[in-house]
Amino acid sequence: MADVPRMPAAAVEKLREVLRRSGDYLEYGSGGSTILALSGAACRVVSVESDARYLAAVTRKAAGFEARFTPLYADIGVTTRWGWPISAGSSDRWPDYARLPWRHLAAEGVFPDSILFDGRFRVACVLESLLRLGTRTCLLMLDDYSLRPSYHVLESEGFVTRVEMADRMLVAKRADGFDPAKAGALLERSFMDPR
């Protein structure tokens, strides 16, 4: 595992810039981004991962940062590479991937000021985050955005407003006209889409 995420240089630099200003950082998908956040910034890090063995490896590599690091395992069933579910047999657990960090954060009374979406169920995770954040300010970073048209619904349906693109990564904020009911309807469908 690298000390930086597998992203183009411009996206890594944007993430590094955001992390330097962040107090509470949430990430969906762990790995190089986790190590970058812990070693290159002073923020608290909550990281969600659907591959228990990979999360254990990340946690070992993050030794020494336990006071600022909360690893969360989202059990979505048996997974393959990149935490992808092998079958839909455990799809009743899939919504927990998007919801899990928010249960933890609510118990702590904390809201992140930056979130990286670089794991599974990305559209669901963005929508769940927007609904949980309410009107709080938070910078959203969605990796692979320009490569995956299925993510573009977030902009085209008025859920997020683009701040900038850092190579393939969308940097966005909650749209002014964000409609919670509309987001909730799409969220229910998105829970079943591991992309």
Query: Given pLDDT bands bounded at 50, 70 and 90, which one contains residue 91?
Result: very high
57-63's contacts with Cβ under 8 Å and 24+ in sequence apart are 57/1, 58/1, 58/30, 58/31, 58/34, 61/1, 61/35, 62/34, 62/35, 62/38
| Backbone phi, psi, residue 13, to 5° | -65, -40
Q: Judge contact between 145 and 165, C-beta under 8 A.
A: yes
State residue 82's pLDDT score. 83
State residue 180's pLDDT score. 98
For 43-72, what is each residue's pLDDT tens digit?
Answer: 999 999 999 999 999 999 999 999 999 999
Q: Would residue 195 count as lying in a domain?
A: no
Cα(100)–Cα(191) distance, rounded to whole angstroms?
13
What burial class does residue 78 get, using C-beta atoms within 10 Å of its C-beta: 0-12 exposed, 13-18 middle, 19+ buried? exposed
Q: Judge contact between 36 and 15, C-beta under 8 A.
A: yes
Q: Would residue 3 count as lying in a domain?
A: no
Query: pTM, whole model, 2 decimals?
Result: 0.96
Q: Would residue 174 count as lying in a domain?
A: yes
Q: How big is the chain, counted in residues?
A: 195
Tokens matching residue 24: 């509470």
Q: Would residue 2 count as lying in a domain?
A: no
Q: Would residue 1 count as lying in a domain?
A: no
Per the listing, tokens 């987001």 go with 183
Q: Would residue 57 count as lying in a domain?
A: yes
Q: Would residue 101 count as lying in a domain?
A: yes
State residue 84's pLDDT score. 85
Query: Given pLDDT bands bounded at 50, 70 and 90, which one contains residue 83?
Result: confident
For 96-126, what is each residue's pLDDT tens digit?
Answer: 999 999 999 999 999 999 999 999 999 999 9
Number of compact structural domains in the chain: 1
Tokens matching residue 30: 């762990």
Query: Given pLDDT bands bounded at 50, 70 and 90, which one contains residue 81?
Result: confident
Q: Kindly tell me if the per-residue pLDDT of 193 is higher than 90.
A: yes
Domain limits for position 70 = 9-190
**Sign of the C-alpha dihedral computed for residues 99, 100, 103 and 105 taken in this order:** negative
Tell me, what CATH number does 51's domain have?
Answer: 3.40.50.150
For 146-169, what is each residue's pLDDT tens digit?
Answer: 999 999 999 999 999 999 999 999
Q: Would residue 151 count as lying in a domain?
A: yes
